[in-house]
Amino acid sequence: MSGWTRRIGMRALALSFLLFAPAAFAQPPAESGIARDARAGTPLACLHVMLIDAEDNPVAHTVTDSAGTFVLVAPAPGVFRVGFEIFGWERLVGPVDTLQAGEMRERAYPLDFTRVLRADSASPAEMLAALRRRERTAWRSAVAATPDAQIRYPKTMLAEQASGGVIAQYVVDETGRARADSWRPVESSNGEFLAALRAHLPAMRYEPARLDGRPVCQLVRNHVRFDWGPVPYITLFN
């Protein structure tokens, strides 16, 4: 699909939201766009996107489609930003827009998630648990349901008594399964650790993300630590 055709399709989708909105909000404003990986230029499918008001409150949520496109309808005219989130990573936001009734803004968003959320007073696991508690009823992120013990510590790393870590990105679908075709390495201290997580991907199960109570796909980043001594153990952070 060409960029021009995709833009026309996205605009038509957004207009359908505006035309068929409830009578109390006959002409609500909307934000639409395309989310892409800033480095690779590829679309980011199943990425959690939110509309954020002037008080920094998310007022609408969605996930991008396979082409990275999305539409967010505002509850009323006002000041908004579009926010993009991979759970456990720093939220990325677009420019501030003042939207009037019936207005729609459309732009492309090159995104580069580089900063893991950290807290000096809490462990990574405790911090992630706190983030989940703060999620609103309208949106719930996917949660890993399989024990991290099923990931195998690489034999060569055991022999070397080596520790390390890996971060990989992939889509968890509506059934809670990781899509193998969406796998992308983000960071790894050793290829052996990366291969161990990749081999475990078909067995991984999640409680899928939920949007307004219904299961939806979600782009996730899985951070796994392999730690040696005195007994080797593996920690799954997402």
Query: End-to-end CA distance of the chain, in Å?
Result: 33
* Of the candidates 28, 32, 29, the residue with the CA atom closest to the CA atom of residue 8: 32
What are residue 230's phi and psi, to 5 degrees? -70, -20
**Contact (CB, 8 A) for 201 and 183:** yes
Residue 69, CA distances (Å) to 40, 106, 218 in order: 16, 10, 14
| Residue whose tokens read 């990986």 | 37
**Mean pLDDT of the 207-214 span:** 96
Show the domains of the chain with their CATH numbers.
Answer: 3-111 (2.60.40.10), 124-236 (3.30.2420.10)
pLDDT digits (tens, 9 = 90+) for 83-99: 999 998 999 999 999 99
pLDDT at 2: 47
Rounded to two decimals, the pTM is: 0.84
**Mean pLDDT of the 58-64 span:** 97
| Residue whose tokens read 């009037």 | 100
What contacts 234, CB < 8 A, 6 or more positions away? 148, 149, 151, 153, 224, 225, 226, 227
Task: Assess whether pLDDT exceeds 60 at residue 23.
Answer: no
- Other CB atoms within a 10 A radius of the CB of residue 20 amount to 7
* Strand, coil or helix: 203: helix
CA 18 to chain centre: 26
Among left, alpha and beta (phi > 0; psi -120 to 50; other), residue 209 is beta
Task: Assess whether pLDDT exceeds 60 at residue 198.
Answer: yes
